[in-house]
Amino acid sequence: MRKLLLATALPLALVATVLAAGAELSADAMRDAEDTLRSLDSNVSLKHPKALAEAEELRGFFRQVEGHYAARGDAARGVELARASQQHASAVAGAVRAGDFDAAQDALDQLTRSCKACHEVYKNKSPLAQKTSQLEFGRWMRVIDQRSVSVQRHIAAQHAAAAQADARVLEDLYARMERYFVHEYPAADAQQVSHAGRVQAASIPALLAAQDYVGAARAARSIAQACNDCHDPHKPFR
Q: How far apart are CA 143 and CA 166, in angstroms?
A: 10
| pLDDT score for 191 | 85
Q: What is the pTM of this model?
A: 0.51
pLDDT band at 6 (very low <50, low <70, confident <90, very high): very low
52: amino acid identity, one letter: L
Candidate from 13-22, 70-79, 121-130 with smallest mean pLDDT: 13-22
Indicate the angle between helix axes 134-156 and 213-234, nearest 10 degrees.
150
Q: Where in the chain is the domain with CATH 1.20.120.10?
A: 2-129
Indicate the CATH number for domain 2-129. Answer: 1.20.120.10
CA-to-CA separations, 99 to 94, 168, 204, in angstroms, rounded? 9, 26, 22
Above 90 in pLDDT, residue 206?
Answer: yes
> Which residues are within 8 A (CB) of 136 and not within 5 positions of it... i.e. 6 or more apart?
none
Q: How far apart are CA 126 and CA 119, in angstroms?
A: 10
Radius of gyration of the chain (CA): 18
| pLDDT score for 121 | 67
CATH fold label, 134-234: Four Helix Bundle (Hemerythrin (Met), subunit A) (1.20.120)
CA-to-CA separations, 182 to 7, 48, 92, 116, 213, in angstroms, rounded? 10, 26, 24, 12, 33
